[in-house]
């Protein structure tokens, strides 16, 4: 695996900068993942690549960015030059009301201003823009329609567009450049209310346009709420587009599912790397329930074509154990599971499809060596009994998987997070406070789609603590001395130097450090992180307070994301 060993960028300062510096070293072993990871954590891709950064934590540089934009506005700077100054000021967090209004009134074309003011967690909201949108677009779909249609050809400023745009006689927004879609997304991100965002979404009736506008970038709460509540015909279209957005949180994906029976939305959520095991299990059970729409045919075909063994096979098929879907349960049985999980899965198939279907799956799985002996014994016994007795056995098994106490007992092993329990965050927080879960389990529970912010904080406290509580002071000095003397090996750096964030930050600052660990780091990233957006997101979340080594961090992130 090729590892980028270009001269490192300037070391960031502050907690966020330290995290970016650490990720930059890890991503040097998987440069193709940089755009996806940057989008997931809400930073510009250049902040994670080998090129130089603009350090925004430095007060002097923040002041310089503010003054440069103010001077540019005073001097009449326009076009791309002014846009660049505005982008730098906003990234630095110094785009105040006066400067933002100057950008809205001066930067042209409008799509450039709207795109550079687009929302996201890495930068502050653009001051003044929500008020301007509320005043001129508000909750009127026709006004949003006019702005969207005019964006491709409008050469004036954004402020003028919002006040003057009228629907043209002919429009071809679907063929517009990406900047148009990014600009419209910037307006949606700054909608002052869910009702205003809903008016803007009413324009996105074409799936291709909806995907271009909504398929990337962090999702503001107002926009997510508007999409979840949107009615036909636009509702399913925008929900599918947002459900495919890898920056959407598990809670937002759960809200997009709602109570509606929309196979296309469910399929988009299921494919999304941000979807949790429990969210996928909900989808699997709902699609197999009587009276519900069946699973999306395209998703079913993809799942059945997954190679075994593979991480994707385990991640995407294990949620079907216990769903009652005969075909996908049979495909999921090779996943390494406890006998109790296999038995529950087969009894659920019996409930939906009868004894003959369950017997066929048992026979094929036994022949392939995918059944545990206990499972084979139990199913042979159950399927030889009367239907009432089998139903009673299923009720007992289902009750165990619905029990919070049983879930808490199993969750003390990280494998428990991939079993079909009905996880209730409130009950699990209580159990966790009585007897702390494994950090890997806690990291998964912190992402549960039904967890509140307070519950997430409880689990994250344990997850960030990591497996080891040791801390080695002066890591940067330690690595500098070791590298200069030639006494450090890649194994020492990756497996024994703690905490991971300090070791990675030191490597980011030392060109020879990257060269030393290049091969070993490449193998480590390939094994646990490369090509897995969810694993990268977990690593970024754990980094600030994780006290273990780089190798432990990568392994933990990979395990949590499975």
Q: Cα–Cα distance between 87 and 120 in angstroms, integer? A: 13
Average pLDDT, the chain: 82
Kindly report the three-state secondary structure assignment for every residue of 441-487.
Answer: HHHHHCCCCCCCHHHHHHHHHHHHHCCCCCCCCCHHHHHHHHHHHCC
Going by pLDDT thresholds of 50, 70 and 90, the confidence category of residue 163 is: confident
Q: What is the pLDDT of residues 504-555, one digit of tens each?
A: 888 877 756 777 788 888 889 988 898 888 889 888 888 887 888 899 899 8
Model pLDDT for residues 146-162, shown as the tens digit of each residue: 998 888 888 888 888 88
4 confidence band (pLDDT: 50, 70, 90): very low
How much is the pLDDT for 391? 94
CB 304 within 8 A of CB 295: no
Of 226 and 504, which is predicted with more confidence? 226
Q: Which helix (H) or strand (E) holds 528?
A: helix 511-528
pLDDT at 121 over 50: no
Confidence at 474, pLDDT banded by 50, 70, 90: low
Instruction: For residue 320, name the pLDDT band (cuts at 50, 70, 90).
Output: very high
Supply the pLDDT for residue 98: 60
pLDDT of residue 237: 96
Query: What pLDDT is stored for residue 30 in this prediction?
Result: 83
Residue 365 has pLDDT above 60, yes or no: yes
Predicted pLDDT at 238: 96
Cα–chain-centroid distance for residue 423?
Answer: 20
Per-residue pLDDT, 432: 87
Q: How confident is the model at residue 65 (pLDDT cuts 50, 70, 90)?
A: confident
pLDDT digits 0-9 by tens, 14-27: 566 678 888 888 98
Count CB neighbours of 201 within 10 A: 29
> Per the structure block, which two tokens stand in for 74?
């005073």
Whether 478 shows a pLDDT value over 60: the answer reads yes
Q: Which residue has the higher pLDDT, 252 or 65?
A: 252
pTM, full prediction: 0.71
Q: Which pLDDT does position 342 carry in this prediction?
A: 95
Long-range contacts of 159-162 (CB under 8 A, 24+ apart): 159/104, 159/105, 159/132, 160/110, 161/110, 162/132, 162/133, 162/136, 162/137
pLDDT in tens, 184-204: 898 898 899 999 999 999 989
The highest-confidence range among 10-14, 57-61, 457-461, by mean pLDDT, is 457-461
Note the residue count of the chain: 562
pLDDT attached to residue 55: 36
Tokens 């030393």 belong to residue: 516
CA distance 556 to 542: 9
Give start and end residues of each alpha helix (H) in 193-309: 194-201, 207-214, 221-229, 234-243, 250-257, 263-271, 277-288, 297-304
Which of 260-269, 373-382, 500-509 is predicted with the least confidence, judged by mean pLDDT? 500-509
> In the block, which residue shows the tokens 């997101």?
537
Confidence of residue 458 (pLDDT cuts 50, 70, 90): confident
Of 31-35, 119-123, 192-196, 558-562, the one with minimum mean pLDDT is 119-123
Region 121-133 average pLDDT: 65
- Say yes or no to pLDDT of 361 above 90: yes
Look at residue 278 in the predicted model and tell me its pLDDT.
Answer: 94
The pLDDT assigned to 52 comes to 32
Reported as half-sphere exposure (CB side, CA atoms, 13 A), residue 38 has a value of 15
Q: Over the stretch 367-379, which tens digit does the pLDDT of each residue have?
A: 889 999 999 999 9
- Domain boundaries, given as residue ranges, for the chain: 14-57+475-561
Most confident of 73-77, 88-92, 393-397: 393-397
The percentage of the chain sitting over the pLDDT mark of 70, rounded to a whole number, equals 81
Task: Please tell me which residue, 512 or 38, carries the higher pLDDT value.
Answer: 38
Q: Which strand (E) or helix (H) includes residue 129? A: helix 129-136
Position 58 pLDDT exceeds 60: no
Q: Is the pLDDT of residue 423 over 60?
A: yes
């Amino acid at each position: 695996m090729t590892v980028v060993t270009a001269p490192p960028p300037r070391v960031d300062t502050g907690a966020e900068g330290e995290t970016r510096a650490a990720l930059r070293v890890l991503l040097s072993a998987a440069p193709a993942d940089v755009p996806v990871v940057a989008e997931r954590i809400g930073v510009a891709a250049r902040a994670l690549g080998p090129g130089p950064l603009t350090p925004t934590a430095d007060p002097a540089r923040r002041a310089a960015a503010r003054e440069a934009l103010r001077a540019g506005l005073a001097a009449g700077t326009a076009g791309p030059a002014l846009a660049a100054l505005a982008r730098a000021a906003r990234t630095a967090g110094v785009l105040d009301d006066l400067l933002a209004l100057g950008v809205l009134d001066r930067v042209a074309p409008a799509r450039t201003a709207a795109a550079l003011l687009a929302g996201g967690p890495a930068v502050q909201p653009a001051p003044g823009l929500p008020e301007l949108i509320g005043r001129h677009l508000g909750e009127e779909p026709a006004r949003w329609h006019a702005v969207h249609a005019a964006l491709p050809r409008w050469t004036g400023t954004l402020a003028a567009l919002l006040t003057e745009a009228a629907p043209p006689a002919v429009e071809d927004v679907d063929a517009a450049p990406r900047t148009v879609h990014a600009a419209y997304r910037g307006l949606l991100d700054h909608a002052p209310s869910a009702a205003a965002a809903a008016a803007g979404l009413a324009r996105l009736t074409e799936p291709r346009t909806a995907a271009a506008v909504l398929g990337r970038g962090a999702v503001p709460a107002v926009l997510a709420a508007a999409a979840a509540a949107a009615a036909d015909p636009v509702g399913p279209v925008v929900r599918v587009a947002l459900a495919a957005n890898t920056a959407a949180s598990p809670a937002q994906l759960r809200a997009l599912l709602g109570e509606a029976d929309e196979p296309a939305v469910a399929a988009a959520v299921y494919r999304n790397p941000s979807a949790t095991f429990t969210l996928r299990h909900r989808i699997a059970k709902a699609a197999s329930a009587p009276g519900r729409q069946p699973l999306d045919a395209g998703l079913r075909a993809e799942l059945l074509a997954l190679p075994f063994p593979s991480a994707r096979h385990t991640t995407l098929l294990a949620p079907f154990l216990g769903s009652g879907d005969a075909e996908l349960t049979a495909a999921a049985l090779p996943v390494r599971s406890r006998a109790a999980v296999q038995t529950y899965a087969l009894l659920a198939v019996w409930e939906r499809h009868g004894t003959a279907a369950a017997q066929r799956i048992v026979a094929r799985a036994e022949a392939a060596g995918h059944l545990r002996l206990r499972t084979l014994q139990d199913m042979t016994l159950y399927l030889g009994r009367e239907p009432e007795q089998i139903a009673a056995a299923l009720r007992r098994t289902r009750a165990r998987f619905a029990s919070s106490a049983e879930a808490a007992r199993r969750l003390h092993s990280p494998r428990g997070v991939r079993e079909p329990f009905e996880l209730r965050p409130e009950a699990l927080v209580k159990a966790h406070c009585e007897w702390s879960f494994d950090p890997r389990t806690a990291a998964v529970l912190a992402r549960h789609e039904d967890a509140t912010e307070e519950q997430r904080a409880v689990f994250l406290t344990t997850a960030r603590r990591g497996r080891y509580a040791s801390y080695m002071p002066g890591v940067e000095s330690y690595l500098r001395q070791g590298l200069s003397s030639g006494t450090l090996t890649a194994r020492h750096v990756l497996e024994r130097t703690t905490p991971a964030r300090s070791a990675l930050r030191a490597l980011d600052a030392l060109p020879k450090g990257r060269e030393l660990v290049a091969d070993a780091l490449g193998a480590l990233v390939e094994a646990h992180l490369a090509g897995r957006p969810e694993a990268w997101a977990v690593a970024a979340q754990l980094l600030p307070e994780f006290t273990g080594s780089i190798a432990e961090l990568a392994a933990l992130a990979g395990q949590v994301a499975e």
